[in-house]
Amino acid sequence: MNIDPYNESVFSVATLLYSRLRKVNSRVIDVYYFMQDQRYAEHIMDCALETGDKELVSYVARLRVALGMDDHKAKAQDQAEQGRKTEEEPDSYALFSIL
Protein backbone atom coordinates (compact mmCIF):
# COMPACT_ATOMS: atom_id res chain seq x y z
CA MET A 1 0.00 0.00 0.00
CA ASN A 2 2.72 2.48 1.01
CA ILE A 3 0.57 5.58 1.33
CA ASP A 4 2.24 8.92 0.95
CA PRO A 5 2.90 10.00 4.56
CA TYR A 6 2.15 13.55 3.55
CA ASN A 7 -1.39 12.68 2.48
CA GLU A 8 -3.06 14.88 5.06
CA SER A 9 -6.53 13.36 4.94
CA VAL A 10 -5.38 9.79 5.53
CA PHE A 11 -2.85 10.79 8.16
CA SER A 12 -5.30 12.96 10.08
CA VAL A 13 -8.01 10.29 10.14
CA ALA A 14 -5.44 7.64 11.11
CA THR A 15 -4.33 9.76 14.05
CA LEU A 16 -7.97 10.23 15.09
CA LEU A 17 -8.34 6.46 14.89
CA TYR A 18 -5.21 6.08 17.01
CA SER A 19 -6.45 8.35 19.78
CA ARG A 20 -9.99 6.97 19.86
CA LEU A 21 -8.83 3.34 19.74
CA ARG A 22 -6.47 4.03 22.61
CA LYS A 23 -9.29 5.53 24.65
CA VAL A 24 -11.91 2.88 23.85
CA ASN A 25 -9.81 -0.28 23.66
CA SER A 26 -6.50 0.69 25.29
CA ARG A 27 -4.80 -0.29 22.06
CA VAL A 28 -1.85 1.68 20.74
CA ILE A 29 -1.11 1.57 17.01
CA ASP A 30 1.75 2.76 14.83
CA VAL A 31 0.29 5.32 12.44
CA TYR A 32 3.35 5.39 10.17
CA TYR A 33 3.33 1.59 9.85
CA PHE A 34 -0.43 1.79 9.32
CA MET A 35 0.24 3.97 6.30
CA GLN A 36 2.91 1.63 4.90
CA ASP A 37 1.44 -1.86 5.35
CA GLN A 38 -1.99 -2.71 3.96
CA ARG A 39 -2.37 -5.91 6.00
CA TYR A 40 -1.62 -4.04 9.22
CA ALA A 41 -4.05 -1.27 8.25
CA GLU A 42 -6.81 -3.78 7.53
CA HIS A 43 -6.15 -5.56 10.81
CA ILE A 44 -6.33 -2.32 12.79
CA MET A 45 -9.51 -1.28 11.00
CA ASP A 46 -11.05 -4.68 11.79
CA CYS A 47 -10.06 -4.26 15.46
CA ALA A 48 -11.67 -0.83 15.46
CA LEU A 49 -14.88 -2.22 13.96
CA GLU A 50 -15.01 -5.01 16.52
CA THR A 51 -15.34 -2.47 19.32
CA GLY A 52 -18.69 -1.30 17.96
CA ASP A 53 -17.82 2.30 18.82
CA LYS A 54 -19.68 4.72 16.54
CA GLU A 55 -16.75 7.12 16.17
CA LEU A 56 -14.35 4.32 15.29
CA VAL A 57 -16.77 2.95 12.72
CA SER A 58 -17.02 6.38 11.11
CA TYR A 59 -13.22 6.75 11.07
CA VAL A 60 -12.86 3.35 9.41
CA ALA A 61 -15.44 4.28 6.79
CA ARG A 62 -13.57 7.54 6.07
CA LEU A 63 -10.24 5.71 5.83
CA ARG A 64 -11.63 3.08 3.47
CA VAL A 65 -12.93 5.79 1.15
CA ALA A 66 -9.67 7.74 1.32
CA LEU A 67 -7.65 4.58 0.64
CA GLY A 68 -9.92 3.39 -2.16
CA MET A 69 -11.24 0.41 -0.23
CA ASP A 70 -14.91 1.11 -0.97
CA ASP A 71 -15.70 -2.58 -1.45
CA HIS A 72 -15.33 -3.04 2.30
CA LYS A 73 -17.83 -0.30 3.07
CA ALA A 74 -20.60 -2.85 3.47
CA LYS A 75 -18.46 -4.72 6.01
CA ALA A 76 -18.06 -1.53 8.05
CA GLN A 77 -21.79 -0.96 8.00
CA ASP A 78 -22.46 -4.58 9.00
CA GLN A 79 -20.03 -4.23 11.90
CA ALA A 80 -21.79 -1.03 12.96
CA GLU A 81 -25.14 -2.82 12.97
CA GLN A 82 -23.63 -5.69 14.94
CA GLY A 83 -22.18 -3.20 17.41
CA ARG A 84 -25.60 -1.65 17.97
CA LYS A 85 -27.09 -5.09 18.62
CA THR A 86 -24.45 -5.90 21.20
CA GLU A 87 -25.16 -2.67 23.02
CA GLU A 88 -28.82 -3.65 23.26
CA GLU A 89 -28.38 -7.37 23.99
CA PRO A 90 -25.08 -8.78 25.17
CA ASP A 91 -24.14 -12.16 23.68
CA SER A 92 -22.83 -13.53 26.95
CA TYR A 93 -23.63 -12.99 30.55
CA ALA A 94 -21.32 -13.20 33.53
CA LEU A 95 -21.52 -16.39 35.56
CA PHE A 96 -21.78 -14.39 38.75
CA SER A 97 -23.29 -10.96 38.88
CA ILE A 98 -22.73 -8.36 41.51
CA LEU A 99 -25.99 -7.04 42.85
Q: For residue range 7-37, list pLDDT tens digits in order.
A: 678 889 999 999 999 999 888 999 888 888 8
CA distances from 65 to 33, 61, 74 (A): 19, 6, 12
Q: Does 21 map to a domain?
A: yes
Residue 79, pLDDT score: 62
Q: Does 19 map to a domain?
A: yes
Q: Does 56 map to a domain?
A: yes
Rg of the Cα atoms in the chain = 15
Q: Does 49 map to a domain?
A: yes
Overall domain count for the chain: 1
Residue 46 predicted with pLDDT over 60:
yes
Stronger pLDDT, 86 or 47, i.e. the higher one: 47
Q: Which domain covers residue 74, as residue numbers?
A: 8-86
**What whole-number distance in Å separates Cα of residue 93 and Cα of residue 99?**
14
**Conformational region of residue 46, where left means phi above 0, alpha means psi within -120 to 50, and beta covers everything else:** alpha
Which amino acid, residue 9?
S
Q: For residue range 49-98, list pLDDT tens digits in order.
A: 999 999 999 999 999 888 877 655 556 556 666 665 555 555 454 455 45
